[in-house]
Structure 1
Amino acid sequence: MCGIAGVWNVDEAYNVIHDVLLSIQHRGQQAAGVVVNGFYGVKGEGLVENVLTDEKFIPGNKGIGHVRYSTYGSLDEIQPLTAHTLKGRISVAHNGNIVDADEKRKFIMESGGIFSTTLDTEVIIHYFSIAPYESPKESLQWAFSRIKAAYSLVILHDSFLAAARDQFGIRPLFYGKFHDGYIIASEDCALRTIGCEEITEIDPGTIVFFTDNKDPEVVRFAKRTDRFCSFEFVYFARPDSNFYGVNTHEVRKMLGMKLYEEYGLKADAVVPVLDSGFSGALGYSQVSGTPLEYGLIRNHYIGRSFIMPKNRQEIVRRKLSPLSSVLNGKEVILIDDSIVRGTTMKIIVDMIREAGARKITVGIHSPPVIGSCNYGIDTSRRSELIASNHEIERLKEYIGADELMYLSVKGYREVFEKSGVRGVCMGCFDLNYPI
């Protein structure tokens, strides 16, 4: 998972992209990069604040940016990627995974193409270059029509800025009006924070071109087939983000409510695993009548443990602190959004137990993650997914909980149908993948 940003015709584009990327820093904390007018760039490993510093400021009124969470390619390869072609210079920032990237790389190399990185993003640049058109815009449309998924992209060209989503809309992308120009971001919360107006969610299968003295030009390159990643609602997105007009926080609350509806368990306290478990815990608390308590306090200066590339176990203990005065002697329902590898939850249960909890029921407001994701989430190795290899009883023993309850696939689907979200991808839960 990554976060992308773009700016067209906005003063101090470097600073604006910096602020947008800060708002979506939760989508990637390994590296950050920006390319602005003249294709001058700043890149580096680490957080936005440490990479895009005031000392490195580049003047300009257009550009793109990226925060990285690696799922494909080497850890030290940082976007945006820039190349010189016969159709002009191009720079690309990409969120997602191109599912057949290896096959496409082989095709390009057999035709004499040379790659400078191991990133699947570079495939897009090559397809743009070899497209049988002189027009850069038509070349992009041709390239996207031949790359199925998964991508949301911002592309800076000498003469335009483009933003595109694959035909399934697996990854999100928005743009908004800002003074005399436009800003693009992975989540609409970032655009509202900046002060954008007329915020628009880019349709799957379309590319939006931003050029001087014109309104955005929307071009469809593939038939729309909505399969938005439901895990964006469950975990990745900020609670104040909206997709398909539906608020993430409200969906998570509904998932928590549905979890109580399916199991009906009560206790002395409902304790959320912060931050993405909070909304589901609130929903569970509201319908069950069980008090919501801050039994875990989060250090917000530690990154999100799921998207950190290593040392997850150490990070969890530094990130979360149990509150003994709340937990001691209590029966606790611990609510989280998901269990992927199981290592994080095992540590959290141990911490709650050490703080004196008498009984711990773990409640997950999504189904068991049993399938790998090749669309931009770091779960590509199914052998690492603990729920794909163990029954619920064995899982309960592994994490050390007294009880373990997962939301059913049926209940999960019903929540999205009730919320009005268009088609979603549930492949990691039901193995029904769009491609």
Structure 2
Amino acid sequence: MPSFPAEQVELGRRRIEWADAFMPVLARIRAQWAERRPLAGVRISACLHVTTETANLVRTLAAGGAEVRLSASNPLSTQDDVVAALNEVYGIPTFARRGVGQDEYYAHIRQALEHGPNLTMDDGADLVTTLHTHQPSLLAGVRGGTEETTTGVIRLRAMAEEGKLRYPIVAVNDARTKHLFDNRYGTGQSAIDGVLRATNLLLAGSTVVVAGYGWCGRGIAMRARGMGARVIVTEVDPLRALEAVMDGYEVKPMLEAAAEGDLFITATGDTQVITEPHFLRMKDGAILANAGHFDVEVDVRTLRQMAKGPRAVRPSVDEWELPGGKRIRVIGEGRLVNLAAAEGHPAQVMDMSFANQALSVEWLARQAEMPRPGVYPVPEAIDREVARLKLESLHVRIDTLTEEQRRYLSGWEQGT
């Protein structure tokens, strides 16, 4: 690994420690694992956003005895000071650099795999697909893995359905203590944070179009409306569209919404959500951002073909000029806006997501016999334990059922 400037290493260390102060659940797991060493001898290859919160997750894995190698799961999400501190202060080999091209990005993933992992940890499934397609000789040593995000779970389920997935993977994203909080409150706040840092836009009085009303889209819509914006939701799922209507939002096709929006934020996990017909209908100066994992939701490739540019108008904002002079502005090259233009989710919410990751890895490491290849839910006991620990860290107490209440809920004899 290259050497890093001392001031960069020190900045990374301070920022990692700051995030750690807001991740009490993960810190508690780390302290327990330092004594028990439940991951002793386990090799873990991880492909995650290299942020301060991720640093505290991999520190926890290392405290549990694991040999960890980390690469980035997005070229613009890497925080270089965190890379420096992980390598120099914490001794965790981390292969990442902000703004790398595609070749270097995948080279880093291959470096993270070189030690021959027993377990994998992924955010978007790029490591898993690289392992299956480019380094299949390592598959024999892999017992299981975890996946952090919606897009990755979608890809892995597609692999499983085609019979291509070679080992079991726990869908951490689907844990209730992950998607109900990380996706909704984390993405809701951090996506808006990225937009505001990049643009200094006033949301009050603006029309914000949110593409997708899953948990990420709900969080974004909720935060935009809370800051005074008129919010339009676009959807392809009739149930989610109906939910958005019942939650008080306008719901329209994107082609109609394109003519009305001042700011567009995609959160669908799909491709070409905003493309040429939409660009042509947009207002002069429309701002586009993506909160989905991959940079395919806003069709920047087509925009490049039909418009002049890009012209950098602010840090993280490129302006494109269509024939006739209309301007469209794209934040973070259409990549994940909360990390391309800001710092990602707050540590408090990643505390729960990464506690799920850590405890799911421990669960996998304990299995004498692994499940068949496929995508599996986080065990219910882990989900509940993460919620219990988080409440405890917040000094919140709740009621417990009486024995009579337990009998009532488990029986069927009592009626009206």
TM-score (norm 1): 0.30
Give the structure with the higher percent strand. 1
Q: TM-score, length-normalised on structure 2?
A: 0.32
Structure with greater proportional helix content: 2
